[in-house]
A and B are shown apart, each in its own frame.
Chain A
Amino acid sequence: IAGITQAPTSQILAAGRRMTLRCTQDMRHNAMYWYRQDLGLGLRLIHYSNTAGTTGKGEVPDGYSVSRANTDDFPLTLASAVPSQTSVYFCASSRDRDSYEQYFGPGTRLTVT
């Protein structure tokens, strides 16, 4: 089934550790996004990529990095996790950056202790 997969589904991580959240889509979409969702705050954009080889910063990029080596994969890395990064992380993709529909993955629930 075409769509977006994220891994892991959930993770408990000690503060200071490095962690990479994986995101893969098989729709050949050019644009991909990472959001975080915290209780009462809605979804906030962390980083985005309009096409393979390019990335950009969203609303809350500090403490996160991304790469886009190919069309399908868009990993999100926390270099040194902190408790404030406890959140649910959603990856999304769209055919192009100004396409009207973004497709979201199932999310990764991350707890930093």
Chain B
Amino acid sequence: DAKTTQPPSMDCAEGRAANLPCNHSTISGNEYVYWYRQIHSQGPQYIIHGLKNNETNEMASLIITEDRKSSTLILPHATLRDTAVYYCIVRGGAGSYQLTFGKGTKLSVIP
């Protein structure tokens, strides 16, 4: 599976959009980009995933560049409850199904 690079920490003002970047320059054609988050002391929680098209759900939006070498997770209106570690994970298609968690980005939402 391709490796990912994320900034170790970021701050965001409450109510503003949080944009979390992820670099995955060695991603291959059948690998998906996944985002999970982990709120302090809890188990990780799935947020969103995508292959090449931008995706949106009730939690967030995922923007993947055209060359697929990087992506951005967008939390449109960050709240204090969004303070967590966010993990960007690249995982292959059928047959390569394990999630490999890196160190993630610690997002702090500031009042």
Contacts of B111 on A, CB cut-off 8 Å?
A: none
Q: Which of A4, A48, A90 contacts B98 (CB 8 A)?
A: A48
Q: Is the interface of B mostly helix, strand, loop or mixed?
A: loop
Q: Say whether A100 contacts B46, CB under 8 Å.
A: yes
Q: Say whether A100 contacts B98, CB under 8 Å.
A: no
Contacts of B93 on A, CB cut-off 8 Å?
A: 98
Q: Which of B15-23, B36-44, B76-84 contacts A (4 or more CB under 8 A)?
A: B36-44
A69 vs B34: C-alpha distance when bound (angstroms)? 30
A40 vs B93: C-alpha distance when bound (angstroms)? 28
Contacts of B100 on A, CB cut-off 8 Å?
A: 45, 59
Would A43 and B101 be within 8 Å (CB), given that A100-B49, A106-B42, A107-B43 are in contact?
A: yes
Would A106 and B46 be within 8 Å (CB), given that A42-B104, A97-B97 are in contact?
A: no
Task: Give per-residue flags for A16-60: 1 if the beta carbon is below 8 A from chain B beta carbons, else 0.
Answer: 000000000000000100010000111111001000000000110
Contacts of B104 on A, CB cut-off 8 Å?
A: 42
Would A106 and B98 be within 8 Å (CB), given that A40-B103, A100-B49 are in contact?
A: no
Contacts of B102 on A, CB cut-off 8 Å?
A: 42
Task: Give per-residue flags for B43-81: 1 if the beta carbon is below 8 A from chain A beta carbons, else 0.
Answer: 111100100000000000000000000000000000000
Q: Say whether B103 contacts A104, CB under 8 Å.
A: no
Interface residue total, chain A, C-beta cutoff 8 A: 24
B99: interface (CB < 8 Å): yes
A92: interface (CB < 8 Å): yes
Interface residues, chain B, with chain A CB atoms under 8 Å away: 32, 34, 41-46, 49, 87, 93-95, 97-104
Interchain Cβ contacts under 8 Å between A and B, 24 examples? A4-B43, A40-B103, A42-B101, A42-B102, A42-B103, A42-B104, A43-B101, A45-B99, A48-B98, A90-B44, A92-B44, A97-B97, A98-B93, A98-B95, A100-B32, A100-B34, A100-B46, A100-B49, A102-B99, A104-B42, A104-B43, A104-B44, A106-B42, A107-B41
